[in-house]
Structure 1
Amino acid sequence: MSYIIPCYLSGFETLPWDDVIYIYIFPFVPLQTLFTLRGVSHSLHNCVTGYFEVCQRYDFTHVGHHFNSRAFKIVFSKNVGVRQLNLCNNRDWLVDGILQPVLQASHRLERINLTGCSTLTSRTVLTLASNCPLLRELDLSNCFWLESEQFKLLACKCQDLETVNVSGCWNLNDDAIVGLAESCKRIRVLSVAKIFCLTDRSIGEVARKCRQLERLDLRGCWRVTDDAIRMLGEYTKLLRVIEIRECSNVTEASLSKLRVKGVNVDLPNYNHYRNMINLQV
């Protein structure tokens, strides 16, 4: 790779950084390649460092296994304007002490994905709550360390949330989801799949308070019943998709009312098939 780089860089260093390189080139260059470029020349080192300072979107999904805490610190040492941060499944090196300073400087953060970051704790959520009031999209799926009280505080501080995924966060309870519904009334997409303790109380509150709701994932929430589904049908006029598999207490009695309104349900209408069979007979 190193012997090819000088050919690519013929005249490259004369291009305007802010108007050309940072907008049309570097956003499409893998992070590990940017680190390689830093070692080519003093000028490129400064160019890449300058890009790290102003870059607003970072996705570590496919490069996290090439990274470590030192490289992460280099990327964010002077960045104060990141708006989108995807750290999905980075568990080998990502801990609170590494991420918290970044969040403390990211007051414009709008989207963050911490799916499966099992080495973090609720301290990271508290840091988000204190420093990122503009947050609109939050993905904490399979973050089993997430606690209800910290999540309620986050919802209270980040009331512009529109998309929330806390699937598999087993420690959350009805109070946590009620707190979310009361604070974040702009929610359009909500996933609470496999939070097994949730009941009609929290889902009913979501129905009453989150009138902009378009998509709801309740898979595996077996304590939820037809009563909550009826409330969703009554209050959430914009609902378009509901995922309800493995909810054994939800029946076609309530789902049929959603289907009539055009809601896409992830379960087939067995009554419909039964009626078709009867007609054929």
Structure 2
Amino acid sequence: MSDSETSNASYELTLFDIAWEDVLYAILFPLLSLKDLFNLRCCSRICKQLVDDGFYHIRDVNLSGNNSPRIEIAFQVLSRSCRNVRTVNLAKCNWLRDDDLSRFLRTNTKIRKINLSECPHISTASLQPIIIDCKDLLVLKLARCNWLTIGAMEALTLHHSQIQELDISYCSSLSERCITIFLHNCRLIRTLSLAYIPSVTDNLLYSIAKNSKAMKHLNIIGCQMTTDRGVGAISLYCTQLESLMVRDCPYITERSLALLRGRVFIDRSRDYQQQLNIAPNVGLPRLFLQV
């Protein structure tokens, strides 16, 4: 055997000899979780380079509920390397702070979906990059974010009109007026969750019926100021509605829900026992036509 044949026989193909851009990043990386990628990153210097360069291409970052020790350091690595993220889920991340989130958002302005629900240690300052820079935003989830203010909602309304899904459940400081103005501006919204917002009344349901005819999923669980009148308006005008969540709404009865049954999923059965001693005697008047 010649020297050249011996050299070729002893050569071993490694992971790093495979085309990074066309194969590893395009085919292998989507199959690995963020945990897998960070474990690979720790193996060697070339692994670190491979993964850091690969972070530039990832589209989804999901750290929901991950409160592991030093997870914030891993997030800082993502902030330095990621540039093309489209979907971000940071729900229930107790370690998340304004500075870290703002740094990540400033370098990923193509985000379309972001979930910051139940993040207690951030503030409205974190929303500024989302409001100003993320012009492609379609889905925003801020459930149980007690720091969400009326001013932040007004700024969001001013800069965004293409949002299709919004979850502001349990954001009790929001007024019905600011939500109404938002809906008037975002007429493409299809999924809306307003659970346990005390200010929600039939007036807001009238606004949804008037401005959000593309609505498919509506959650008003615990909005105890809503009645059959509001749901009746929804039934007449939101013809694309697919689901309606109305648990813990004592003034919404089968009078209005019967109009939706058969074409809409409702989270209460037909034989649900209303508290008749407090349910008002409200029908479905012709006033619906004036919405």
Q: 1:5 aligns to what?
A: none
The letter for the 2-side match of 1:29 is: L
Letter in 2 for 1:227: R
Deviation at 1:116, TM superposition (A): 0.8
Q: Distance in 2 between matches of 1:76 and 1:26?
A: 18
CA distance in 1, matches of 2:88, 2:153: 19
CA contact (8 A) 2:214 2:238 kept: yes
Q: Return the offset for 1:67.
A: 4.3
Any conservation in 2 of the 1:32–1:66 contact (CA below 8 Å)?
A: no
Partner of 2:79: 76
Aligned-partner Cα distance in 2 for 1:244–1:62: 27
User: What's 1:94 paired with?
Assistant: 96
User: For 1:218-256, what per-residue CA distance to the aligned partner results, in whole angstroms no more than 9, with x for missing partners?
Assistant: 100000111111110121110111000101111111111
- Number of the residue aligned with 1:35: 38
> Quick check: which one's helix share is greater?
1
SS of alignment partner, residue 258 of structure 1: coil
What residue in structure 2 maps to residue 279 of structure 1?
none
Q: Look up the SS of the partner of 1:112 in the other structure.
A: strand
**Cα distance 1:64–1:90, how it changes in 2: closer, same or farther (>3 A)?**
same
8 Å CA contact 1:115, 1:140 repeated in 2:
yes
Structure 2 unaligned segments of length 5 or more: list them. 1-11, 274-291
Count of equivalent residues: 262
CA distance in 2, matches of 1:26, 1:67: 23
CA distance in structure 1 between the aligned counterparts of 2:176 and 2:248, rounded to whole angstroms:
19
CA offset digits 1:83-131 (Å, max 9, x no partner): 111111101x211111012212222110001111111111122321111
What is the root-mean-square deviation of aligned Cα atoms in Å?
Answer: 2.0
- Counterpart-to-counterpart distance in 2, 1:241 and 1:67: 40
Matches within 5 A, 1:1-281: 11-61=14-64, 63-91=66-94, 93-259=95-261, 262-270=263-271
Q: Distance in 2 between matches of 1:62 and 1:122?
A: 21
> Structure 1 residues 162, 67: closer, same or farther in 2, change over 3 A?
farther
Deviations 1:162-203 (A, max 9, x none): 111111111112022102211111111111111122111122
Structure 2 CA distance for partners of 1:244 and 1:205, relative to 1, 3 Å: same
Gaps of 5+ in 1: 1-8, 273-281
Counterpart of 2:5 in structure 1 is none
How far the C-alpha of 1:64 sits from its partner, in A, is 4.1
C-alpha displacement at 1:71, in angstroms?
1.9
TM-score, normalisation: structure 1: 0.87
1:242–1:263 CA contact under 8 A, matched in 2: yes
Q: Verify the 8 A CA contact 2:139 2:165 in the aligned structure 1.
A: yes
Alpha-carbon distance between aligned partners in 2 of 1:231 and 1:198, rounded to the nearest angstrom:
15
Q: Is the 8 A contact 1:52 1:76 kept in 2?
A: no
Q: Which runs of 4+ in 1 moved over 6 A?
A: none
Residues 66 and 93, structure 2, Cα contact 8 Å, conserved in 1: no
